[in-house]
Amino acid sequence: MFNFRKSSPSSVDRGWAWIILLGCFVEYFVVLGMYKSFGIFFVQYQRKYNTSASVLSMILSVQNIITSISSLIVMGVGTRYFTERTMVMSGGLIGLGCCIGNAFAPSVEVLFFTQSFLFAVSAMAATLPAMLMVGKYFEKRRGMANSIANVGGSLGGFVLPFFLTFLFSEYGLEGTLIIAGGLYLQFLPAGLVMRTIERDSALHEDKEFTGSLLSNQTDKENVIEYEIQDAYNGSSTSLNKTVNTELKAKSMVNINSSQKNCSLKSSALHGSSLDIESTVSVKNINAGRSQHCSLSTLSDAKRKCLKFLFTLFDFALFKNPKFILLMLVAFLVAPGSTIVVTFIAPFAIDNDQSINMIGYLLTLSSAGDLTGRLLFVFISDNKVIQRYHMLSIAMLANGLTCLLASFYDTFAKLAVFGFLQSSFGGTYYSLINVLIVDFIGLKNLHHGLSMTTVMRGISVAITSSVIGHLRDHTGSYVSGFYLMGTCLVLGGLLLLFKPLISK
């Protein structure tokens, strides 16, 4: 869809790369701004539907579960069959449907679809492809680019709560949601600027050439089935070991096709399981296949299931200890970096703060987020301190602010809490995409993005539900902040074990 132009490798870190970053900035402004403003909607929905905090917290839990599922589909399937431009523009239209659906939802049950499902799909369809494009277009300035994109989310969180509070007083809940839906239409021009880019044209040509050697559809299916068979048996691919051994002795592999000897660069022999048809020849596959039982012994259901799983994710990453460490840290620190701002508004209501003051409270919280992320624009690519050290320090400080929640009983204290927590919590989003590249490499960025989103979704879903139940049973959100603070401290300490894992 509208894929009428591509960028050359000369655009990396300059030129059109900054236009891509601008489009991503706009998307983050809308998506994260609306997400951080949910605390205002939280209070309005609670009044409109006369429901409990645990029910509305369950909406957030379902939303994050859908976020996890949709992130896998977007990065595993969407990026294979659709362009980034198509997905971003589709995300904008879905977001518009989300706001209109919320405006006219007759019951809280309908919100489970309009808010939980539509918002999650819209956010993932727009932001994940955009961040993938930023990762491709930037190399030396990748840390700064990610920080600038996240500044867009912080700026949205700073502006939208104040703007939405004004709209509530003028147009009510329904009118506010309809106007907010128009913000998602900005994804249409933002999506149009998403040109594809070939980082290595020579490698791309080699892959196209090798793929032509396997143009027969039956041979391609056999290649994929052989890879699945090897993973199903739980063994390492002996064929890949053979190829890697040959690469050490010889940097060029001769492939015989149609009685022609053709040279293939060794760099083209590396890829994920999804690209295996471009890494080995049918002759080698048939030779390796004799060492394993036939795939026909698997049922059709298992074979189709495994093919789908390989489409979604490269499970070989789970053999990488650094990847496992990063996923565990993401699971622990995501709630304290994501949903604290959501519960600040109802927490302030419990402390006898007026609804008008909540808008200012969220604005101050977003100001802290913006301040922290602007700081990381300048220090994220600094070589003096490691990026994972930055994240560890920020998570420990964020955990400490949450563990002191029982002392925040006035507007001034709540404002300080919101400012500091957002300043430290925003560090996670400023650095996580860069840390994925630092830990597992650029070639696995799309898999890392999807899995960190899955970990965040599962963790936030569980934590949101638990906090809602704790509020209903204890009458306070303090215990929920204690839970998030403890997880933040554990995650920050666990990240310091990265040098030991690397050894």
Q: Domain ranges in the chain? A: 6-198+315-502, 214-312
pLDDT band of residue 423 (cuts 50, 70, 90) is: confident
Q: Give, for 413, the enclosing helix (H) or strand (E).
A: helix 411-440
Q: What is the pLDDT confidence band of residue 12, given thresholds at 50, 70 and 90? A: confident
Matching residue, tokens 């040959």: 246
CA 399 to chain centroid, in Å, comes to 22
Pairing of strands 6-7, 196-197: parallel
Where is 19: in which H helix or E strand? helix 16-36
Between residues 181 and 429, which one has the greater pLDDT? 181
* pLDDT confidence bin for 213, thresholds 50/70/90: very low
Q: Which of the two residues, 22 and 219, has the higher pLDDT score?
A: 22
What confidence category does residue 116 fall into, taking pLDDT thresholds of 50, 70 and 90? Answer: confident
- Closest to 271 in 3D by CA, of 203, 215, 321: 203
Q: Taking the alpha carbons of 187, 193, 198, 199 in that order, is the dihedral positive or negative?
A: negative
Do residues 435 and 391 make contact, with C-beta atoms less than 8 angstroms apart? Answer: yes
Local structure of 106: helix, strand or coil: coil
Give the rounded percent of residues in the chain with a pLDDT score beyond 70: 72
pLDDT surpassing 90 at residue 265: no
CA–CA distance, 208 with 122 (Å, rounded to integer): 33
Between helices 38-49 and 16-36, what is the axis angle to 10°? 30
- Distance between CA 45 and CA 60 in Å, rounded? 13
pTM summary value: 0.58
Question: Which secondary structure element, helix H or strand E, spans residue 377, and what is its range?
Answer: helix 355-379
Compute the distance between CA of residue 362 and CA of residue 157 in angstroms, rounded to an integer. Answer: 8
| List of E strands, 335-479 | none
Across 25-62, b (16+ Cβ under 10 Å) vs e yields bbbbbbbbbbbbbbbbbbbbbbebbebebbbbbbbbbb
pLDDT category of residue 237 using cuts at 50, 70 and 90: very low
Tell me how crowded residue 235 is: count the other CB atoms within 10 A of its CB: 11
**480: nearest Cα among 494, 462, 492, 495:** 462
User: DSSP character for 250?
Assistant: -
CA–CA separation, 394 and 390 (whole Å): 6
pLDDT tens digits, one per residue of 321-335: 888 888 899 899 988
Output 251 or 410, whichever has higher pLDDT: 410
What is the distance between the alpha carbons of residues 195 and 190, in angstroms, rounded to a whole number?
A: 11
CA–CA dist 203, 264 (Å, integer): 10
Q: Which helix (H) or strand (E) holds 197?
A: strand 196-197
Question: Quick one: what percent of the chain has pLDDT higher than 90?
Answer: 13
- Residue 390's CB is within 10 A of a number of other CB atoms, namely 20
Please measure the distance between the N-terminal and C-terminal CA atoms of the chain and give it in whole angstroms.
Answer: 46
Q: Between 243 and 438, whose confidence is greater?
A: 438
- What is the pLDDT, as a whole number, of residue 42? 79
- Dihedral sign computed on CA atoms, order 308, 310, 311, 317: positive
| CA distance linking residue 117 with residue 98, whole number of Å | 8
How many Cα atoms within 13 Å fall on the side-chain side of residue 147? 21
**58, 116 contact by CB (below 8 A):** no
CATH for 6-198+315-502 (3.40.50.12280, 1.20.1050.10, 3.30.56.10, 1.20.1250.20): 1.20.1250.20
Copy the structure tokens of residue 295. 């795939």
From 207, 208, 201, 213, select the one nearest 261 (Cα to Cα): 213
Phi/psi for 337 (5° steps) reads -100, -5
Q: Is the dihedral of CA 39, 338, 459, 395 positive or negative?
A: negative
CB 443 within 8 A of CB 274: no
What stretch of H or E contains 332? helix 321-338
| pLDDT value at residue 311 | 60
Contact (Cβ atoms closer than 8 angstroms) between residue 370 and residue 156: no
With tokens 């995409």, the residue in question is 433
C-alpha to C-alpha distance for 68 and 105, rounded to whole angstroms: 24
User: Average per-residue pLDDT in the chain?
Assistant: 74
